[in-house]
Amino acid sequence: MEDDFEMPVAKRQRIDETAPSTKNAGSRLFAPFRTIGLVSPTAVPFTSVPLGKTTFQITTSVGRSLQTYDLRRGLNLVFLSSPLCPETITATCAYRDRVLVAWGSESAKNGRGIWLFKRGRYIGSLQVEGTTDQELRKIIVLGNWIIACGSKAIEVWKNESYEHYTTITVANRADFAACICALPTFVNKVFAGRADGNVDIYNVSTGKLVHTIAPESRTMGSVCCLTPAPAVGLLAAAYSDGTLKVLDVETEETVTMFQQSKNDQPVTSITFRTDGVGAGDDGRSDGIMATASIDSGDVTLWDLNRGGKVAGILRAAHETSSSTIASGISGIEFLPGQPVIISSGLDNALRSWVFDQVPFSPIPRILHARSGHASSISNLKFLPAATDGSEAAGKWLLSAGNDRSLWAFSLRKDGQSTELSQGNVKHKAKKIGKLVSDESNVEDFKCPPITNIACSLNRDGGMGAIGGPVWTNPSATNAEEASMTGWESVVTSHENDRYARTWFWGRKKAGRWALESGDKKPVTSVAITACGTFALVGSAGGSLDMHNLQSGMHRQRFPPRLKAGQAKQFKLGQISSEQLAKVSRGHSGAVTGIVVDNLNQSVISTSLDGEVIFWQFTTGLIQDRFRLDGAPVAVRYNPVSGLMSIACDDLCIRVIDIETRRIVRELWGCVGQIYDHCFSHDGRCVVTCSMDSVIRVFDLATGHLIDAFKTHTCTNAAFSSTGEFLATAHAGGIGINIWNNKSLFMHVSSRQINEDSEIIDLTDATEFQAASQLAIMDAQAEQDDQMTQIDGDGAVDQLDASLLTLSLLPQSRWQTLLNLETIRQRNKPIQPPQKPKAAPFFLGSSLTNGTTTNEALALSEAAVEPTMTETEKSRVSRLSSLQPVHSVISSHLDVFAAEGRTNELVSYLSGLSPSAADLEIRSLTMQEMPGFVRALTAHLLHRRDYELINTWMAVFLKLHAEFVSGIDDVRLAVLDFQKAMNAEETRLSQSVGWARGVVEFLRSSR
């Protein structure tokens, strides 16, 4: 019975009990594919490099890998580095066609190192043996030298050979501030900032200190940033007390000095505009400098002419959050010779800004942007398939985060990922004067964090859907226009909010309606009907209400309010309060899940009071109710199988058939609180994630735990409607891990695994790569089920003698044999062969080459003859000879006649090509025909290679039909084959009919 539920059907090889077993290297069902949603989540600044004269490539760090974006393509992702660095990346530097990456620290488990990547591929590493044990936080390239700096020392390597050259230490002075730079006119000189405010100048060729530039005051603190200015010999330096100055290195004179208004936000990034314009009142002068801080989301633009002044402030260039320690800008840079500035921030965003010259504006506008969630993810849901047959199924993933945003991530093209708009929140903040203060956050003007998502695309209007003010419940709506164009298709519930909000999927923006709960308590669960017309809202007080998404009006209450007659009977005492409560009482606890069947006949709701209630959709009356042993905390529904799963607080997942309203499975095994669970696309499996950081997969047909692997604590999981991907979100992470489903292209066993010994630890594999993981299978991953290769050379034993077994040959092999004549007719040339044209004069003929035509013909025949195989020679001689020749198939038929074995004959025929097998059957003599048919009958009685036996018999009857009616031995053998075939068909149909009847009986409501 277990194998009846396996799909796809595939043969398995028996496992030798004495063979040594090897432990799996990965999950049995899923293979890591990639991580989406990461752009620039770390404090490591981006690095850029010009690509010719047409574009720039921007490279960001996403933990242990790099992502490279092309500016001309709109910051589209072009490279993802492979392999992963052993530890977290601490510094990057792009130089020509290479990117240098420093990773690890003195306390890292896997040590530290510097790798080189080219077009996303690892090409080499620098020699780190003998260097100072420290975390490298800055890398630059200076001519023939590669220079890296940490807090203890400066390391120098040769640029050509990657050999370590020298180490420069602080020598009883304050530690380095990990700020180094080089000026173009100072050969072999590197400038290094220190924690005491001094700037040291070292000669990297000799490794000696050349000079030290002291600060004006010791109270200025440590150096936070060093950047060379476009003017010769000028250097910009920022200090921890907020001081910012530009000094002449040769004379040590301060050219200009600024003081930040807030000392707690020192400048950590400086860049200069080099296109020669932007300063002055008309913007035609040179001298613009931009500064940013990792503690602020603003970019300050300075005009360095006439002593310097603030030219403008780009407010909220990157979002800041009060919930995180550091949430500002990690790096800014003007592109050389371009009016474009690039910025990256800890809000997981990379943006490009452009300055308009006509009309002139000192503050840039947004040009391109790539971003993701700025805080941890709270909910995942794949977009369901629409009824119009569009290709969006399985492509889009909806994701809600604690940063109060709702994102739509594309699994096909990274550049299509976008955040669903909540209106112009920056304009709202600016209108009430909140953008002026750095303490105010733009996220305060967004909706509360999303806790639940429901979606149905059947009434989505796309880009042409009727719009309106965001979440204002407008009273004037045109129902006719909305009916033609469509309406909102996404509904969300929010943390401690009594309103459920609607969203337009096609327009990627917030909708018109804010649906209030019936008891005005916070909304805890939402659902949308399959038709996309109604939204159901459940509250923390137990109320359940239905709203129309076209008009936003309230349509039904579950249970419905008392009618006038019922209220009168209750007032007169004709109905007791107990009877009335039994009829109309709903949930007494918070609603944790709502499900609507595909036909809008029943509504199923669960609550923390432990009850599951079935409501009639049209009337709101109770059809059935029962209580579970544990309180339901989450509900999932699979419309394909008609099953509903309920995660309870007793660590059990109960599966209910909504037709029979019975519990059909109880899945135990989760340790700790169940964070989330989901159905597979076909409803055959349930994937769970719990507090013990283990993702478990249960097979519903058998109830077995068929896969379990450990990751960083998984908090959310979602299965795509096409079955291709599993998406998981992890505690504290802002990226979404995408896994490939192996069961789509290989057989996966449904045997029960031993949870104590077969849980696979994949904790270190939660950052995935797109390139190297596409090859899902390797030699070690096949040990679980011992899959055999698909070929016809070796015989595979049956799992059981009573099972009708197919062969392992590809379907195209035996189908080609059946239609060989049709294929030959189709492949015939349309036109007859034409006589070749005369050879050009410069090509010698056989006469000029000294070889006659007959000699050339003899040589060509001699050259062709050795290419003929022995089988072809024997076949030609057999056909041309009058005396019969004892061929290979004749010997196999003799073995069958003497010993009754058919394996040799079947193996020989299955190993031939379709044309060769056709020639063998066509060349059977009249004496061999009865034996051949009896051999096929005997193999059929063994219930093996069913489709091959029928294919060979069909070809035999097509080629030798005249002998079947004319020779008695052949006719009797064919009749025996027909009897065996009819008997097997009758046995198989009875077994299938019995199984179908049992399944229909179990699914019926009787």
Instruction: Answer yes or no: are the C-beta atoms of 493 and 405 closer than 8 Å.
Output: no
Neighbours of 109 (CB within 10 A): 7
Provide the angle, in degrees to the nearest 10, between the axes of the packed helices 811-818 and 946-959: 20
Structure-model confidence comparison of residues 268 and 443, the more confident one: 268
Structure-model confidence comparison of residues 82 and 262, the more confident one: 82
Answer whether residue 860 shows pLDDT above 60.
no
In this predicted structure, what is the pLDDT of residue 469?
A: 86
Instruction: Answer yes or no: are the C-beta atoms of 170 and 194 closer than 8 Å.
Output: yes
Instruction: State the DSSP H helix or E strand holding residue 689, giving kind and residue range, or none if neither.
Output: strand 685-690
Answer whether residue 885 shows pLDDT above 60.
no
Answer whether residue 675 shows pLDDT above 90.
yes
CA–CA distances in Å: residue 355 to residues 358, 367, 574:
9, 9, 79
Structure-model confidence comparison of residues 108 and 414, the more confident one: 414
Answer whether residue 935 shows pLDDT above 60.
yes
Q: What's the mean pLDDT in 754-775?
A: 64
Structure tokens, 539: 């509250």
In this predicted structure, what is the pLDDT of residue 364?
A: 95
In this predicted structure, what is the pLDDT of residue 15?
A: 40
Residue 560 CA to residue 558 CA, distance in Å, equals: 5
**Phi, psi of 265, rounded to the nearest 5 degrees:** -130, 70
CA–CA distances in Å: residue 85 to residues 151, 358, 739, 768:
22, 46, 20, 12
Q: What's the mean pLDDT in 275-302?
A: 91
Tens digits of residue pLDDT in 368-407:
999 999 999 999 999 987 655 566 667 899 999 999 999 9
In this predicted structure, what is the pLDDT of residue 779?
A: 35
Answer whether residue 164 shows pLDDT above 80.
yes
Task: Choose among 409, 405, 412, 509: nearest CA to 463.
Answer: 509
Q: Model's pTM, two decimal places? A: 0.75
Task: Give percent of the chain with pLDDT exceeding 90.
Answer: 52
In this predicted structure, what is the pLDDT of residue 101?
A: 97
Q: What's the mean pLDDT in 293-304?
A: 91
Give every CB contact of residue 69 below 8 A, 6+ residues apart in sequence: 57, 58, 59, 60, 75, 76, 77, 78, 350, 370
Task: Choose among 499, 422, 510: nearest CA to 465.
Answer: 510
Sign of CA dihedral 188, 193, 199, 200: negative
In this predicted structure, what is the pLDDT of residue 197?
A: 92
What is the residue type of 232?
Answer: V
Sign of CA dihedral 513, 518, 524, 526: negative
Give every CB contact of residue 900 below 8 A, 6+ residues apart in sequence: 938
In this predicted structure, what is the pLDDT of residue 793?
A: 40
In this predicted structure, what is the pLDDT of residue 260?
A: 79
pLDDT band at 926 (very low <50, low <70, confident <90, very high): confident
**Phi, psi of 5, rounded to the nearest 5 degrees:** -100, 5
In this predicted structure, what is the pLDDT of residue 814?
A: 80
Range of weakest confidence among 156-160, 167-171, 212-216, 701-705 = 167-171
Q: What is the dihedral of CA 106, 109, 110, 116, to 10 degrees?
A: -50
Answer whether residue 102 shows pLDDT above 90.
yes
Sign of CA dihedral 837, 838, 843, 845: positive
pLDDT band at 886 (very low <50, low <70, confident <90, very high): low
What residue has token string 């049709």? 822
In this predicted structure, what is the pLDDT of residue 780?
A: 38
| Helix, strand counts (H, E) of the chain | 15, 57
Q: What's the mean pLDDT in 530-538?
A: 95
Answer whether residue 474 shows pLDDT above 50.
yes
In this predicted structure, what is the pLDDT of residue 746?
A: 85
Q: What's the mean pLDDT in 491-499?
A: 96
Q: What's the mean pLDDT in 961-986?
A: 87
**Phi, psi of 171, rounded to the nearest 5 degrees:** 55, 70
Answer whether residue 874 shows pLDDT above 60.
no
Q: What's the mean pLDDT in 812-835?
A: 79
In this predicted structure, what is the pLDDT of residue 879?
A: 41
pLDDT band at 435 (very low <50, low <70, confident <90, very high): low
Q: What's the mean pLDDT in 585-592?
A: 91
In this predicted structure, what is the pLDDT of residue 390?
A: 60
In this predicted structure, what is the pLDDT of residue 434?
A: 65
In this predicted structure, what is the pLDDT of residue 582?
A: 52
DSSP for 701-751, written as a single string:
TT--EEEEEE-S-EEEEEE-TTSSEEEEEETT--SEEEEEEGGGTS----P
In this predicted structure, what is the pLDDT of residue 608?
A: 95
The pLDDT mean for the chain works out to 84
